[in-house]
Amino acid sequence: MVRLCLHVGSKAAAFGVGAGREEQGKHMSAPAEVGTTGQSPWRETLKTIVYALLIALVVRVFFYQPFNIPSGSMKSTLLVGDYLFASKMSYGYSRYSFPFGIVPFRGRLFGSEPKRGDVVIFKLPRDNSTDYIKRLIGLPGDEVAVRGGIIYLNGQALPQTPAGTYVGPEEGGRAKPRYEETLPNGVKHYVLHWQRESDLDNVGPFKVPAGHYFMMGDNRDDSIDSRVQSQHFGVGFVPYENLVGRAEIVFFSVAIDDPRAFRLTSPWTWPFDIRWSRIFNLVR
């Protein structure tokens, strides 16, 4: 429109008011010519969608990737139905940092060693495709044993202090004892286990090989982790290359483990099935 006004003004100055009116009439009779130089709307929309997908892919691969929690092996730190972001930058990048492992290389780029107590997402060593999440307990060279439900790390027992109970749908309404466990580097976290002993309460010792880590779930009675060394159904030691990222923050949580939640017959109750208090909780 600015160009059109300037054009009319210049004609009026050169040929008089009558010529200006004639020129203005010509432009008004063909308004379709004004917008013909732009791109079609569908093409602009398609470009916007492509750019958005590329940005999302870059963020997912190199910065933060979302995951959801399908099992209770990390209770009460993480609950079934939690959705969290994992930092991909924390440990650098391996082939498993990319979807379907499409970038075939060995080792890690910009690698950084994980710390004891980190909550880690990794690829299950026996198939290198299934995503698992556990807490890092043993570093390369450590000796890990469990006696009576207590972890012995390099011969030293990790202190556990009673910290109340946890009650959830999978516990059938029973209060499960909770303890605060302290790792040698000062990291404190909660673990759950019944007072009665289970098969995994007395295992080891395990010598963690170089370039590998020993992982355990916080729900000690209901976690298949590095205590189970079987190549057919266990986890075993986790190679450094298999680390995907460090769990950072819960961004959404729904009580999908509660059979009374999200009933189709009462949709007005659905907002109450969202665990609002867990949203934006840091994973520690």
Active site residues: 73, 134
- Amino acid identity for residue 14 in this structure: A
Contact (Cβ atoms closer than 8 angstroms) between residue 155 and residue 166: no
Q: How far is it, in rounded angstroms, from Cα 238 to Cα 217?
A: 14
Sorted by sequence, the CB contacts under 8 Å of residue 136 that are 6+ apart come out as 114, 115, 116, 117, 118, 119, 120, 213, 214, 215
Q: How far is it, in rounded angstroms, from Cα 100 to Cα 98?
A: 6
Helix axes 17-29, 2-15, angle to 10 degrees: 150
3-class state of residue 38 by DSSP? coil
Please spell the DSSP secondary structure of 71-107, one letter per residue: SSTTTTTS-TTEEEEEESSTT-B-GGGSGGG-S---S
- Amino acid identity for residue 181 in this structure: E
